[in-house]
C-alpha cells in the first residue's frame, strides 16, 4: 500500500554477509521470531537473537523475489515490522521487502515515477496474451455458483450478458477427508490432482462446460493448489519424500492452522515432474486456457519458471496467474500478479495518496507488468461491507476503468451480502440470489461494456488528476477522464472538466462541475 512513514535505514531489513538482517527493538519481549513467505509462515522456526537489552536481530538467506513477513512476539503476537513503512497490498497487514538476484534488498521508495523508476522497472515483464490483457475475470466456485458443471454451463448466458470473458474455476478435485473443516472441507485440500469430484460431474460435463464457454468467446482458467495436497493424499504414503518432513519423518505443512494440508518438498525433481505432467494433462485433455496458482508467493521462483517453459511449449498463448505480489514472477513465469492496494486506497479516498501508491507500485515492478485489480477476492469480505454500500458503485467505476485486468468475485456484481471468505465454502455456501440487485448488475454490465468499447480503458496511459477535493478519485486513460465521489457530500471540480463529453455518469452536473454524493463521471476530454 502507500508507504506509511519515512524509515530509519538502520532498522530496515538490509543485506549483510550471509543474507538479509532483520532488526526489532523491544525491551520487554521474552521471545521473538520471524515468520513470512520465506519459511511458509512458521512462527517458531526463525528465532531472533537478543543482541542488547532492547534489540533483537536475525540474519537469513532470502531468495530473490518479494517476501511478506511479520514479527512474532512471545509466540502469540504477530505484528508488522514497526520499522518498515511498506505494508502489503493484500489487506492482511504484512510487512514487505524484495530481494534481487545479487542479494540486494530493494525496499519500496517514496517518489517513484516514470521519470524516476525503481531498478526493476528497467527490466521488461513477460509479454501476456492479448485475451488476458483485454479481459475481465470472473471467479466462481462450481458447487456454490452452479451446483455442478452442468449448472455452471446453464449460467453462461448470465455471465455472457454481464460481459465477463475469463472464467476462473476454483478447485473441483476430490477434497481430503482427514482433518476436514466443515461438511465439505476446504476445496484447496486436494486429495487427487488428476481427478474430478464426482459430486460436480464427470470429464464429459467439464468438457461440455469449457466448450460452451469457448463458443461464447470466453476463456477458462483452472485454479491450481500449488504448494500442498490434503494430508490424506495417497502420495503421503506412496511418495513421502515428496513432502516436507520433521526430524522424525512425519509429514507436515509449515503454514500455521493448516494441519489438514501436507506441504510439498520442491527440492524433489520427481514431484516437480509429476505436477507439471498433471497440469499438461488438464490443458491437453480439456482445453483450459490457463492456470491460477494458489499461494504462489511461497513457491520457489525457479519452479514457476520451469512450469512456464513447459506449458508455453504446449500452448503459446497460455496465461498463468500468480497469487502473489512478487515483481520477479513477471520476468519469466507469470502473466498476472495480484494488486490489492486499490481496495484500501478507495477506502482512504485520497487522490494524492492513491496517485503516490499507483506510481510507487507501478514503477517498482518490471516494465509492462500486468496486475489483477480487485475489490473482492476469496480471502476478503464484500466491498459493500468494507466501504459501505453507497460507495460500491463509484468504487466499481474506478476499478473497471483502471489499468490492469479487473477481477470480479461471484456475486459481487449483484451485491450478494453473505460471502465472508473462502472458508464459507467448507459448509456448502451458495450466493443469496434473493438479494439480487438489478441496478448494481446493470452498473457492472455498463462498465464492462465501456471497457470493451474503448481501447483506452484497457491499454491507455494512466495519469492521476491533481488538486481534487477530499473524497474524490480522478484520473485519465488517454482521452478518457474518470471521476468518482466516494464521500457523502457534493464535490466541486475544476471547471475545465465541465467540457468532458459524458459516456456514463451518475449525478454529474456539468455546468457547475459537481458530483453528488457517491456519483461518478466517465467521459471523453475535448
**Each residue of 104-130: pLDDT tens digit?**
999 988 899 999 999 999 999 999 999
**What's the confidence (pLDDT) of residue 257?**
82
Q: How many Å apart are CA 260 and CA 253, to the nearest integer?
A: 8
30-63 pLDDT tens trace: 999 999 999 989 888 999 999 999 999 999 999 9
In the prediction, which pLDDT does 508 show? 97
DSSP string, 132-164: HHT--EEEE-HHHHTSSHHHHHHTHHHHHHHT-
* pLDDT at residue 174, rounded to an integer: 98
Q: Work out the percent of the chain whose per-residue pLDDT is above 90.
A: 93
Q: What is the mean pLDDT of residues 442-455?
A: 98
Q: Which residues contact 318 (CB under 8 A, 6 or more apart)?
A: 129, 283, 289, 290, 291, 311, 312
Instruction: Indicate the helix (H) or strand (E) that contains 520.
Output: strand 514-524
Which regions of the chain carry the CATH code 2.60.40.10? Answer: 9-107
* Per-residue model confidence (pLDDT) at position 497: 93
**Confidence class for position 91, pLDDT limits 50, 70, 90:** confident
Please provide the CATH number assigned to the domain covering 463-524. 2.60.40
For residues 136 and 113, what is the distance between their CA atoms, to the nearest angstrom? 27
Q: Is the pLDDT of residue 418 over 80?
A: yes
Q: What superfamily in CATH does domain 9-107 come from? A: Immunoglobulins (2.60.40.10)
Write down the pLDDT at residue 51.
96
Residue 3 has pLDDT above 80, yes or no: no
The CATH number of domain 131-225+265-334 is 3.20.20.80: yes
Give the per-residue pLDDT at 149.
98
Secondary structure class of 519 (helix, strand, coil): strand
- CB-count exposure of residue 52 (10 Å: 0-12, 13-18, 19+): exposed
* Side-chain-facing half-sphere of 194: CA atoms under 13 Å: 9
397 Cα distance to chain centroid: 19
Residue 2, pLDDT score: 65
What pLDDT does 366 receive? 98
Q: Chain-wide mean pLDDT for the chain?
A: 96
- Residue 5 pLDDT: 76
Task: Say if CB 190 and CB 290 are below 8 A apart.
Answer: no
Phi-psi region for residue 471, left (φ > 0), alpha (ψ -120 to 50) or beta?
A: left
- Distance between start and end Cα atoms, the chain: 34
Q: How many CB atoms are located within 10 Å of the residue 268 CB?
A: 14
Burial class (CB in 10 A: 0-12, 13-18, 19+), 446: middle
pLDDT in tens, 360-401: 999 999 999 999 999 999 999 999 999 999 999 999 999 999
- Of 2 and 457, the one with more pLDDT: 457
- What is the H or E stretch that residue 395 is in? helix 392-401
Q: Read off the pLDDT of each residue in 321-347 and give the average, rounded to a whole number.
A: 97
Q: Are 323 and 295 in contact (CB under 8 A)?
A: yes
pLDDT-above-70 percentage for the chain? 100
Model confidence, pTM: 0.96
Sequence-ordered alpha helix ranges (H) in 249-350: 269-286, 301-314, 329-332, 341-348
Query: Is 25 a residue whose pLDDT tops 80?
Result: yes
pLDDT attached to residue 255: 84
User: What pLDDT digit, counting tens, does each position of 170-221 carry?
Assistant: 999 999 999 999 999 999 999 999 999 999 999 999 999 999 999 999 999 9
In this prediction, residue 256 carries a pLDDT of 82
Confidence at residue 55, expressed as pLDDT on a 0 to 100 scale: 96
DSSP letters of 454-486? -THHHHSPEEE-SSPPTTEEEEEETTEEEEEE-
| CA–CA dist 298, 270 (Å, integer) | 19
Give the confidence band of 1 by pLDDT, cuts at 50, 70, 90.
low
Q: How far apart are CA 414 and CA 92, in angstroms?
A: 26
Q: Which pLDDT score is estimated for 19?
A: 96
DSSP calls for 218-273: -EEEEEEE-SEEETT-THHHH-GGGB-B-TTS-B---STT-TTEEEB-TT-HHHHH
Residue 120 grid cell? 526493476
| Rounded Cα–Cα distance for residues 452 and 431 (Å) | 27
More confident residue, 89 or 524: 524
Amino acid at each position: 500500500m502507500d508507504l506509511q512513514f519515512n524509515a530509519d535505514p538502520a532498522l530496515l531489513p538490509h543485506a549483510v554477509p550471509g543474507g538479509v538482517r532483520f532488526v526489532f527493538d523491544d525491551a520487554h519481549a521474552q521471545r521473538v521470531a520471524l515468520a513470512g513467505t520465506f519459511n511458509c509462515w512458521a512462527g517458531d522456526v526463525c528465532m531472533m537473537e537478543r543482541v542488547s537489552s532492547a534489540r533483537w536481530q536475525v540474519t537469513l538467506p532470502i531468495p530473490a523475489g518479494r517476501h511478506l513477513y511479520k514479527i512474532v512476539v512471545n509466540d502469540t503476537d504477530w505484528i508488522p515490522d514497526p520499522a518498515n513503512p511498506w505494508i502489503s497490498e493484500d489487506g492482511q497487514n504484512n510487512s514487505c521487502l524484495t530481494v534481487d538476484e545479487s542479494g540486494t534488498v530493494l525496499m519500496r521508495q517514496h517518489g517513484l515515477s516514470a521519470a524516476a523508476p525503481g531498478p526493476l522497472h528497467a527490466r521488461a515483464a513477460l509479454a501476456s496474451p492479448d485475451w488476458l490483457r483485454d479481459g475481465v475475470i470472473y471467479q466462481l466456485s462450481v458447487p456454490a455458483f452452479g451446483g455442478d458443471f452442468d449448472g455452471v454451463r446453464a449460467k453462461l448466458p448470465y455471465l455472457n450478458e454481464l460481459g465477463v470473458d475469463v472464467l476462473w474455476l476454483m478447485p473441483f478435485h476430490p477434497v481430503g477427508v482427514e482433518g476436514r473443516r466443515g461438511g465439505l472441507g476446504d476445496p484447496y485440500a486436494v486429495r487427487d490432482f488428476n481427478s474430478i469430484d464426482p459430486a460436480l460431474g464427470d470429464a464429459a460435463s467439464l468438457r461440455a462446460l469449457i466448450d460452451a464457454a469457448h463458443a461464447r468467446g470466453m476463456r477458462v482458467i483452472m485454479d491450481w493448489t500449488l504448494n500442498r495436497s490434503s494430508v490424506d493424499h495417497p502420495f503421503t504414503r506412496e511418495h513421502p519424500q515428496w513432502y516436507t518432513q520433521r526430524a522424525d519423518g512425519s509429514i507436515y505443512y509449515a503454514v500455521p492452522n493448516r494441519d489438514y494440508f501436507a506441504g510439498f518438498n520442491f527440492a524433489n525433481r520427481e514431484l516437480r515432474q509429476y505436477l507439471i505432467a498433471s497440469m499438461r494433462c488438464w490443458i491437453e485433455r480439456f482445453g483450459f486456457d490457463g492456470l491460477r496458482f494458489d499461494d504462489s508467493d511461497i513457491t520457489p521462483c525457479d519452479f514457476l519458471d520451469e512450469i512456464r517453459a513447459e506449458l508455453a511449449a504446449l500452448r503459446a498463448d497460455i496465461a498463468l496467474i500468480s497469487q502473489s505480489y512478487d515483481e520477479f514472477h513477471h520476468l519469466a513465469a507469470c502473466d498476472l500478479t495480484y494488486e490489492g492496494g486499490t481496495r484500501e486506497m478507495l477506502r482512504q479516498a485520497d487522490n494524492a495518496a492513491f496517485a503516490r501508491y499507483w506510481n510507487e507500485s507501478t514503477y517498482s515492478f518490471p516494465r509492462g507488468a500486468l496486475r489483477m485489480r480487485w475489490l473482492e477476492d476469496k480471502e476478503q469480505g464484500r466491498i459493500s461491507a468494507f466501504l459501505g454500500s453507497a460507495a460500491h458503485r463509484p468504487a466499481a467505476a474506478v476499478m473497471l476503468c483502471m489499468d490492469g485486468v479487473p477481477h470480479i468475485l461471484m456475486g459481487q456484481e449483484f451485491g450478494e451480502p453473505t460471502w465472508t471468505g473462502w472458508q464459507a465454502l467448507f459448509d456448502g455456501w451458495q450466493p443469496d440470489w434473493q438479494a439480487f440487485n438489478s441496478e448494481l448488475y446493470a452498473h457492472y454490465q455498463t462498465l464492462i461494456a465501456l471497457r470493451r468499447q474503448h481501447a483506452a480503458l484497457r491499454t491507455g496511459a494512466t495519469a492521476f488528476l491533481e488538486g481534487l477535493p477530499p473524497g474524490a478519485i480522478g484520473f485519465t486513460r488517454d482521452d478518457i477522464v474518470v471521476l468518482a465521489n466516494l464521500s457523502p457530500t457534493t464535490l466541486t471540480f475544476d471547471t475545465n472538466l465541465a467540457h468532458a463529453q459524458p459516456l456514463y455518469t451518475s449525478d454529474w452536473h456539468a455546468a457547475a462541475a459537481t458530483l453528488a454524493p457517491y456519483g461518478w463521471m466517465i467521459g471523453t476530454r475535448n
